[in-house]
Chains A and B, each alone.
Chain A
Amino acid sequence: MSDAGPAERTGELTQALLDSSVWSEQMLAQAGIPIVDSPLVSIGGGLGSFALIDHLRICGVGIESLRVLTPLSTPWESFGYLTRVSQVALGDRLRSDSSSCPDNIWGFPSYAVREAVAADTVRGFVTPLWQVLTEPVAAERYTPRLGQVLEALAREHVRIRYQQMVAAGQVRMVRRRVDGGYFTILTTPEWAKAAKRIAFRSGYVHLAVGYAGLKFLPDLQIYRESTRNSSRVVNAYEPHEHVYDQLRRRPGTVMVRGSGIVASRVLQRLIDERNNHGLQTRVVHILGEYIAASHGPRFRRRHGGDGFAYQAFDEPKAVWGGQLRDRARAAEGHERVQFFDSLGGSSSPYRKHWQAKLATARTEGWYSTVVGQVDALDPGADDLISARVRTGDSVLMAEASFVIDCTGLESDIGEQRILADLLRHSGAGRNPLGRLDVAPSFEVRGTRNGKGRLYASGAATHGGYLPGVDTFLGLQIAAQEIADDLATEGFCRRLGPWGSGRQWLRWATNTVI
């Protein structure tokens, strides 16, 4: 941050700045906030920023034209954290396609091929190739291990000199500039020898701020607030190792809520803990709807069984580039809401070893499912939680030592500071599903300012023209759409066959660009 301004910690946001939706250089000067020029800034610094920066670097944009404003030390820090707490270890396989490679915009060679090439046994060589060749007909779909993806990301982030583009700090807001473009206010870390706040002046801004936050089911929220105890009722996306630790010391019943991939992983962990440590854990799985078999009309029929809807990935595969993507792109307003509804609710991939473990648990009688809605949770005797579950016309009482919420509810985008400011001051609006309204190019509608363009990708844009925005592929597709839009603005080259081939060779030879 040597170019970031004076060494003393100056620069407070004045009332005039806070109140005004459009800023000038003079206003910032009066507040003592230094201005740094950067043609494009990407806010967030997670995998969404990484996807765009990677794409733009491959399209020939120099590091001097790009800045990533982030509190994260690596682009995979948040992703790594969320996967870890939701029970994915480095050696575990993700729920992600072989050719969905966040480190490689071409998806070639895919992770299955790379795993085969890196194997040191014949079996290790053949297995991933056979799996990816015959999936999903004769084999389960190939999915890469978390460790493989993280290593590949680390390699690519060095190759594109990502770290040299990072400006550390917390972004406070983006505001429009009087003469076009935007100012982005970065609050620098305490340790930085820079002004307390810096204004990045740029023509292009990219927002990839991730999930607006965790949201608890209302009954869980009420329980936590009334008992002031957050250790017994946890969200699967927050650290909850203490649950497993305590179950090792004292047998108990765990209530698992939700039927998506995270619920599957938590169930797997509970079962493994029970088996590996000889525990007496019991599991009550609360499902809103019990999926007993394949369901849906003939041409929209999804596999299911044992309570779960089975689906290989977060969304049906064609949302990232097939007929479902075409349909999403053509749907507006209420039709879009209906389209997203048609993609179905929570789902989990069918994995034989999970099903076998659950079947054993069921026959041994320590795993049971309850279909219904939890009306309330109350503190019970002996540190237990008492749940009132409405099942059809009757009410059932269930007791548990812990409740793990795997429903994956997300907070409203209005609770994310930067997005809230954008909605209030910069003309951004909401899409039919209530998230940030973006055009097919991922430009945030209503925020254009002169020649300036403001883009967003990732979870905040869910409900737009592309389903599955918060996935590896979703982030890469958004990056490609943004890069193509920027190419029409003259910011970068549009990647054609020749340029793409050359850049791929550089990737393959790990040539620093």
Chain B
Amino acid sequence: MAYSLAGRIQTRILLFAVIGGIWTTLVTPILPTRLALGASYQVTFSMLALIIALGLLWELAYHLLQQFRWDKDWPTIFSLAAGVPEGLLLWVLLDTDSWFWDVPVTSRSFWLLFGSLWLLVWAVLSGPIRVLLVRRRWTGGRLL
């Protein structure tokens, strides 16, 4: 995929908000959060919001790295592998209480949710999204 900066940002927001929102709603009840359901949802949706918010900064970094590529594209393996640094940073922020407010997430539920969400979004990005948004690949990922 060859992204423009606006395309990256719009794609990040749309996919994580829509697919992430649905997925988080579905799996939160079965995650080992050790919290009541209401509190669990608060934690998981805080995580999702952080993936999107921090993701906007990550996208800026990716766009900068993309400039070093002659093809100005972003190989699919990069999209998949980006989950490692993004997941680690988020976990460090939450686990060390460096984040601005307390998100009491357990390690297992964090990695289960983050990992499954990342793989799901990557899988959708790798093909099925083109079925519904037929122009997106010609617009650098932009939807608007």
Contacts and interface: CB of A to CB of B under 8 A. Distances in A.
A316 B70 contact: yes
Contacts of B131: 106, 108, 500-501, 504
A427 interface: no
Interface stretch (A60-68, A299-307, A379-387): A299-307
Contact of A500 (B67, B72, B134, B137): B134
B138 A135 contact: no
Interface in A436-493: 477, 480
A500 B137 CA distance: 14
B84 interface: no
B22 to A, nearest CB: 16
A324 B77 contact: no
Contact of A302 (B2, B7, B70): B70
B2 A322 contact: yes
Nearest to B129: A108
B140 A325 contact: yes
A4 interface: no
B127 A299 contact: no
A300 to B, nearest CB: 7
A322 B140 CA distance: 4
Contacts of B110: none
Contacts, number: 99
Contacts of B67: 299
B4 A320 contact: no
B100 interface: no
B144 interface: no
A360 B60 CA distance: 45
Interface string B49-89: 00000000000000000111011110111101000000000
A88 interface: no
A166 to B, nearest CB: 26
A469 to B, nearest CB: 13
A323 interface: yes
Given A318-B2, A321-B140, A477-B138, A497 B70 contact: no
B139 interface: yes
Interface in A95-110: 99, 105-110
B127 A323 contact: no
Contact of A316 (B72, B77, B134): B72
Contact of B130 (A106, A296, A317, A324): A106
Interface string A135-150: 1111000000000000
Interface string B112-136: 0000000000000001101111110
Interface in A309-327: 311-312, 316-318, 320-326
Contact of A137 (B2, B4, B75): B75
Contacts of B134: 105-106, 480, 495, 500
A132 B76 contact: yes
A152 interface: no
Contacts of B75: 135-137
B3 interface: yes
B76 A326 contact: no
A480 B138 contact: yes
A79 B133 CA distance: 29
A134 interface: yes
A298 interface: yes
A29 interface: no
A303 B70 contact: yes
Contacts of B1: 322
Contacts of A292: none
Contact of A321 (B76, B132, B137): B137
B137 A318 contact: no
A113 interface: yes
Given A324-B2, A480-B135, A317 B72 contact: yes
Nearest to B7: A322
Contacts of A113: 127
Nearest to A502: B131
A299 B138 contact: no
Nearest to B127: A108
A133 interface: yes
Contacts of B76: 132-133, 135
A321 B72 CA distance: 10
Given A108-B128, A301-B70, A318 B135 contact: no
A507 to B, nearest CB: 9
A501 B134 CA distance: 9
A106 B128 CA distance: 9
B19 to A, nearest CB: 14
A107 B138 CA distance: 11
Q: Which of A106, A133, A134, A320 has the most CB of B within 10 A?
A: A106
Contact of B73 (A106, A109, A318): A318
A312 B71 contact: yes
A299 B71 CA distance: 10
A108 B130 contact: yes
Contact of B72 (A107, A109, A322): A322
Contact of A109 (B2, B66, B127, B138): B127
Interface in B1-20: 1-5, 7
Nearest to B5: A323
14 contacts: A99-B127, A105-B134, A106-B134, A133-B80, A137-B77, A300-B70, A311-B70, A318-B73, A321-B138, A321-B140, A322-B73, A323-B66, A500-B134, A501-B131
Interface of A: 99, 105-110, 113, 132-138, 296, 298-303, 311-312, 316-318, 320-326, 477, 480, 495, 497, 500-501, 504
- 10 tightest Cβ-Cβ pairs between the two chains A and B: A322-B2, A318-B72, A318-B2, A317-B73, A317-B71, A321-B138, A497-B132, A108-B127, A322-B140, A504-B131
Given A322-B2, A497-B132, 20 more contacts: A105-B134, A106-B130, A109-B127, A133-B77, A135-B75, A296-B70, A300-B70, A316-B73, A317-B2, A318-B2, A318-B73, A322-B4, A322-B140, A323-B4, A323-B72, A324-B2, A324-B72, A326-B140, A480-B135, A501-B131
